[in-house]
Amino acid sequence: MGYTDTRFTVNLSILFTELPLLERPAAAAAAGFTAVELWWPWIDTPTPEQAELDALREALEDAGVRLTGLNFYAGQLPGPDRGALSVPGEESERFRANVDVAADFAASVGCTALNALYGNRVDGVDPAVQDELALENLAIAARAADRVGAVLLVEALNGPESPRYPLVSAPAAVEVVEKVNAATGLDNARFLMDLYHLSMNGEDLTEVIEKYTAVTGHVQIADNPGRGAPGTGDLDFTDLLDRLKKAGYDGWVGLEYKPGDAPSGSTFAWLPAPLRPAPAG
C-alpha cells in the first residue's frame, strides 16, 4: 500500500511562496496537483475586501484546482502568534469577525475543512479563562462550518517551535475536539493529524495513528528533522501512510513542508514515479 491511492494536496502558504498568492494555484496545477490548501492568506486582516476574496476564488477556478482546506484567521502565521481564538480582547474579536467570512469563502470554492488554531497562552491570563474562551469560539466556528457543510479541524502543534501553544500532543487536541462536539451536538469537529508536529513532540506516530485515525479529519506531513520533503529526514512515510490506510483514513494528505532553497515545483521527486504529478505542458 504505502503511497498507493493517497490523495495529496499542496499547502500554498508554505510551498510556492516564491510566487505571489494569486499565481500559486496555477503553479500547483502546472506541477500536476488538483488540490491545494491554505492558511488564512491575509495575516493583517480577518475581513479582507470582497475583491480580494473574489480574486483568490477566480485564481483557484482558473487553475482548475480545488481548495480542500483553509485556516480561520490565526494572527501572524507563520510567526509567534499561533492562533487568536483563545486570546482575550482584540485577537479573539478578530477571530469572531473572520468566522463567517472564512466559512462563506470556503463554501464558494467547495472547501469542506476549516482549521482553527487554538492560540498561545498569554502572560497574566488564567489558562482556564483562555480555555473557556477557546471552547466558546470553537463552538461558534463549528456551527459556521456546519452551516456550509464543512468540518472544523483542531490541530496540535509542537512544543519546541511553539512553546506557548497549549495543544502540543495528540491527546490534548483530541480532548478539545471531544469538548467541542459535546458543546455543539454537531459532531463535526475533527483532529488535524500533523505528523511533523507530533514527531517533533516525540510522540509514537504508529500509536497516534492507531488511536486517533477515527476522529481525524485531515492529515499533514513534513519530514523530521528539518520540516523538509519526505526523504530529507528520518520519518518512514511509506509505513506511516500505509498504517493510515489500514486504519481507515481515506482523506487528503496535505504537503506542508519547506522547499528549502529549491524552487517548490522541483521538490516532488520523493513521490514514487507512477504517482508523481506530471507537470503540465
**Active site residues per annotation:** 155, 256
In this structure, what is the dihedral angle of CA atoms 164, 106, 112, 175, given to the nearest 10 degrees?
A: 20
For the chain, the straight-line distance linking the first and the last C-alpha, in angstroms and rounded, comes to 30
Contacts of 220 (CB under 8 A, 6+ apart): 11, 192, 193, 194, 195, 196, 253, 254, 255, 256
Beta-bridged to residue 221, according to DSSP, are 255
Asked if residues 191 and 153 have their Cβ atoms less than 8 Å apart, the reply is: yes
Beta-bridged to residue 153, according to DSSP, are 115, 190
Q: Which three cell numbers stand for residue 141?
A: 466556528
What CA–CA distance (Å, rounded) separates 143 from 188?
Answer: 9
Residue 234 neighbours by CB distance under 10 Å: 9
